[in-house]
Structure 1
Amino acid sequence: MRADAVRNRGAVLAAADRLFAAATDPDQVSMDDVAVAAGVGKGTLFRHFGDRLGLVRALHAERGDRLRAALAADQPAGPPAERARHLLRELVRFKRDNRVLTLALENAGNGSPYRAGSYGQWHSLLAGLVAEARGPESADYLAHVLLAAVRSDLVEHLADWSDERWDAGLTALTRSVLGDAT
């Protein structure tokens, strides 16, 4: 990429980041708003990202990369249930901290989070933990079930839950699926 293209892409992502962080609803952030906030033409947005969904995916991927790096550096040792609970807890925190952006992404695929780019990565990690605890037979399905417990629409529905309440629920879920984490 040319230097100005890299600069424009960075400006667009920074502007989109600010706008999504300030919004209360994903539909409040338009491509026009992002272009104005980034100080670029609308054509620049479409050249770099294709459409609004491409922009949302790029921003979510950037934030998700930071989460994956943090999880890789801070993965607890211990049984698979404990590691799965840690992963799910961090996904809930990520979705709460990035509420509008994750809702926009999960709602963009015809309301399906399964089409989000990061879904496959999280599923693969959880399927590995399930296979380690229970064997490979049902690992694929159970990983989908575990991820359903942290869908953005559920996190939004339970927005008033404390971290402690989430942790209790995730502990019960992971223990029931993977065995006792203690």
Structure 2
Amino acid sequence: MCAGRQLPVLGQSQPERADAARNRQKIIEVAARMIDCRGADQLSLDEVAREAGVGVGTVYRRFGDRAGLVWALIDERERRFQEAFLSGPPPLGPGAAPAERAEAFLTALVDRVVSQLDLFRLVELGSPASRFGGPYRVHHTHLAALLAQARPDADPHYLADALLAPVNAHLIAYQRERGLTIDEVKAGIGGLARAVTARPAP
């Protein structure tokens, strides 16, 4: 994966030249203004480049596609979320049982997605490399590690994918249109997590 297209695992550095860092910040600021004015669906990399005063090739090389630019826009909140589940207080952070942490992680992830729902919906329209790289890879690795402890009899990687699948922006938006509250969505995800992490009867 190209540096800058997607968020790294927390703690990894991404060194940049000063001019590249300035261009990156300028592009992000322009993209944020455009989303505020028109909404995420109208974001165009060509227009961002023109407004930022940089070449279109610079934007595409730096971010790869529209989803890569959106990930850069949500970077700071994602880093705070990663800090919470990697080193924050339990049950989201270390100190609780693996099954309890898995449930806390998934319900917190619902809040995380809802907090920037339009941007996450836009990312989900991107390429599989964008959608399932970066933060998804971090979330999957974390959840699979918890599931490996809670369910040593099962494939933790498959279960992680299965539990992350319902926590997507398009589905949550549709559930809200059907009248579900966020608390009801979280309760459903929590119940699913408990069902998956329960040890099978001997």
Alpha-carbon separation, structure 1, partners of 2:63 and 2:129: 21
Report the residue type matching 1:65 in the other structure.
Answer: R
In 2, Cα distance between the equivalents of 1:95 and 1:170?
Answer: 13
Q: After TM superposition, list the pairs within 5 Å mapping 1:142-161 onto structure 2.
A: 142-159=159-176, 161=180
**Cα distance, 1:124 vs structure 2:** 1.5
Change (3 A) 1:153 1:112: farther
Partners of 1:136 and 1:16 lie apart in 2 by 46
> Normalized against structure 1, the TM-score is what?
0.79
User: Quick check: which one's helix share is greater?
Assistant: 1
Aligned to 1:106: 124
One-letter identity of the residue aligned with 1:130: L
The root-mean-square deviation of aligned C-alpha atoms, in Å, is 2.8
Report the CA distance shift for 1:39/1:66 in structure 2 as closer, same or farther (over 3 A): farther
Deviation at 1:178, TM superposition (A): 0.9
- Unpaired runs of 5+ residues, structure 2, are 1-15
Identity of counterpart residues, as a percentage? Answer: 38
**Runs of at least 5 residues in structure 1 that lack an aligned partner in the other structure:** none
Residues 1:179 and 2:198 aligned together: yes
Distance in 2 of aligned mates of 1:128 and 1:22: 41
Note the C-alpha offset of 1:63: 4.2
State the one-letter code of the partner of 1:31.
L
TM-score, normalization: structure 2? 0.72
Q: CA deviation at 1:47?
A: 4.0
Structure 1 CA distance, aligned partners of 2:101 and 2:125?
28
Asked if 1:9 is matched to 2:27, the reply is: no
Structure 1 range deviating more: 45-54 or 90-99: 45-54
> Take 1:147 and 1:31, find their aligned partners in 2: how far apart are those partners?
29
Q: For 1:159 and 1:21, locate their aligned partners in 2 and report how far apart those are by CA, in whole Å.
A: 22
Separation (CA, whole Å) in 1 of partners of 2:61 and 2:191:
46
Report 1:1-182 matches (<5 A).
1-20=16-35, 23-26=38-41, 28-61=42-75, 63-76=77-90, 77-109=95-127, 113=131, 115-135=132-152, 137-159=154-176, 161-179=180-198
